Amino acid sequence: MTEQTQTRLTGGSPAGDLGRRLAARRVELGLSRGEAAARADMATGYLRHLEQHPGAAPSRGALLKLAAVLETTVSALTGGDVDLPPGTGQAAPAPEFTELSRTECGDLLSTHGVGRLAVSTALGPVIVPVNYSVVDGTIAFRTVRGATPSLASGRPVAFEVDRIDDVFSQGWSVLVRGHAHLVTDLGEQLRLAEQAHSTPWAGGRRELWVRIDPFAVTGRRISV
């Protein structure tokens, strides 16, 4: 999602951890502020206050209503589960397991974000998270020479993305297997930088581009 789109949907820059989480989840569900407020039975101005004022302290009842409307939990909205791994909830009583088509896998990959790169090293296989973008059907990410992700160059690798919904005990995962290579052409580097959907969370100057050309893409979904 572009910054312009987020600003349009939030109607201003969210402030504070709670405000950012409220706005981000609302945007993820495609809800305007007015729609979310109406479903939570509260004034739009109050929801705007919660999203834009760091010191906002909603009641437990208001948080419960917002969590229900935003299909999440109070802990998720307040950051109480920030250090917990996903998937700690109980399994649904009647889950449905399905294989995803190549098109479905591509659509999910194109949401971008953070994926897990599996690469061989001298000490054995290693899995590390990287911010990635999908460009022309390939996976692209930035790193620095000598860092673990840079070791993917010239090797077959695996790349995985997933989303877990603890509230409804459902989620999906997509696995990409392919060949990784360094991008050495300056023009291609500039084009990748222009089309990147985020900057590396690790910070610093990470100007080494790596692309993964897939030879196999598979996925699965668990739904209720």
185: three-class secondary structure by DSSP? coil
- Residues 117 and 20 grouped into a single domain: no
Q: Note the pLDDT tens digit of each residue in 42-90.
A: 999 999 999 998 888 899 899 999 999 998 888 888 877 666 666 666 6
**pTM score of the predicted model:** 0.67
Q: 209 with 182: CB under 8 angstroms?
A: yes
Establish if 157 belongs to a structural domain. yes
- Residues 18 and 116 grouped into a single domain: no
Domain count for the chain, please give it: 2
Measured distance CA(167)–CA(41) in Å, rounded: 21
DSSP secondary structure letters along 49-81 = HHHH-TT----HHHHHHHHHHTTS-HHHHHTTT
Q: Note the pLDDT tens digit of each residue in 97-122.
A: 899 999 999 999 988 789 999 998 88
* CA 205-135-154 angle, 5° bins: 70
- Residues 73 and 140 grouped into a single domain: no
What lies within 8 Å, CB to CB, of 118 at 6+ separation is 125, 126, 127, 157, 158, 159, 160
**Over the range 153-163, which residues count as b (16 or more CB within 10 Å of their CB) and which as e?**
beeebbbebbe
- The lowest-confidence range among 30-34, 92-96, 166-170, 177-181 is 166-170
- Residues 58 and 125 grouped into a single domain: no
Which range of residues forms the domain containing residue 120? 96-223
- Residues 73 and 27 grouped into a single domain: yes
Distance from the Cα of residue 73 to its chain's centroid? 18
User: Which residues are 209's β-sheet partners?
Assistant: 142
CATH number of residue 208's parent domain? 2.30.110.10
